[in-house]
C-alpha cells in the first residue's frame, strides 16, 4: 500500500470562506464513499463534520456541465474537474480522478479506467477486457495499484489542496465478492487475501486508495476551514 501526502497550494487565508462543499461527481457509488470519508467516525471531531455536503446530483447538468476528462494523468483530470465545476457553480468543489494501473499493461487502463472497453461506466465490459489482456500473465506479474487523486478548488477555480492515495495489490483470475464497483472484485489485497469486492465497507474505508487520499486531505481542509 502506498500514498502521497497532501499538497497545500496556498498558505494564505482564503478569500472565500465556506460552510458547504460540492462533491464533483454524479456517480452515486463514488459519492457514497467520498461523503463518508470527509469526516469519518474514527477521526477526531473536526470542522469538516459541519460542512453541508452536496454533489452534482443536486444540480441540473446545465448549471454544472460534465467536464471532459482529457488530461494525461489522474492529477490533471482531478484539477480540471474541480476547477471548471467550481467556477460554474461559484462554490467550493472537491473532485477526484481515480483508476487502476496494472504493471504488466504499462499502467493501463489508467485514466481510461472507467471507459477502458469503450463505453463509460460499463464495469462488466471493462473487466472482461482487463482479464483478457492478462490471460497469459502469471500471478507473480499481475501486480497493480489503485490510484486516487483529490483536488479541492475554491469558487474562483483555484486549486487549494491536492492529495494522492495509492493501494497496491494484484489482479485475480476470477471475480470474488459483490461489494464495491469497477474493478473491485478482481483487485486482491495480499495482506488480507481478499479482493476489494470481499472486504467490508468499513475495512475498505480504512485502507483503500480513496481512503488514503482523504486521510491526507483532512488536515489541509481543516486549516482552510479555520481561516
Higher pLDDT, 108 or 51: 108
pLDDT of residue 39: 82
Domain ranges within the chain, ordered by starting residue: 2-225
DSSP designation for 45: P
- Tens of pLDDT, residue by residue over 4-25, are 445 555 444 344 567 899 999 9
**Looking at domain 2-225, which CATH architecture does it have?**
Alpha-Beta Complex (3.90)
List Cβ neighbours of 158 (8 Å cut-off, separation of 6 or more).
9, 10, 83
The answer to whether 187 touches 171, Cβ cutoff 8 Å, is yes
- Tens of pLDDT, residue by residue over 70-114, are 999 999 999 999 999 999 999 999 999 999 999 999 999 999 999
Give the cell for residue 137: 500473465
66, 73, 96, 97: the active-site residue: 97
The answer to whether 154 touches 14, Cβ cutoff 8 Å, is yes
Distance CA 132, CA 184 (A): 16
Determine whether 97 is an active site residue. yes
Mean pLDDT of all residues belonging to the chain: 90
Residue 45 has pLDDT above 90, yes or no: no
Entry pTM: 0.88
DSSP designation for 211: H
Amino acid at each position: 500500500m502506498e500514498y502521497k501526502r497532501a499538497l497545500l497550494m496556498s498558505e494564505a487565508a482564503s478569500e472565500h470562506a465556506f460552510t458547504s462543499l460540492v462533491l464533483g461527481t454524479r456517480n452515486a457509488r463514488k459519492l457514497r464513499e467520498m461523503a463518508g470519508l470527509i469526516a469519518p467516525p474514527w477521526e477526531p471531531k473536526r470542522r469538516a463534520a459541519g460542512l453541508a455536503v452536496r454533489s452534482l446530483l443536486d444540480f441540473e447538468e446545465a448549471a454544472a456541465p460534465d467536464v471532459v476528462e482529457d488530461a494525461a494523468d489522474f492529477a490533471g483530470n482531478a484539477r480540471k474537474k474541480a476547477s471548471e465545476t467550481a467556477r460554474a457553480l461559484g462554490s467550493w468543489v472537491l473532485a477526484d480522478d481515480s483508476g487502476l494501473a496494472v504493471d504488466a499493461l504499462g499502467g493501463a487502463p489508467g485514466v481510461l479506467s472507467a471507459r477502458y472497453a469503450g463505453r463509460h461506466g460499463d464495469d462488466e465490459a471493462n473487466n472482461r477486457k482487463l482479464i483478457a489482456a492478462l490471460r497469459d500473465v502469471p500471478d507473480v506479474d499481475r501486480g497493480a495499484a489503485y490510484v486516487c487523486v483529490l483536488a479541492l478548488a475554491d469558487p474562483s477555480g483555484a486549486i487549494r489542496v491536492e492529495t494522492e492515495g495509492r493501494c497496491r495489490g494484484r489482479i485475480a483470475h476470477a471475480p470474488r465478492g459483490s461489494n464495491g464497483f469497477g474493478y473491485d472484485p478482481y483487485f486482491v489485497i495480499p495482506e488480507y487475501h481478499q479482493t476489494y469486492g470481499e472486504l467490508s465497507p468499513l475495512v475498505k474505508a480504512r485502507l483503500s486508495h480513496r481512503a488514503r487520499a482523504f486521510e491526507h486531505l483532512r488536515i489541509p481542509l481543516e486549516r482552510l476551514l479555520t481561516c
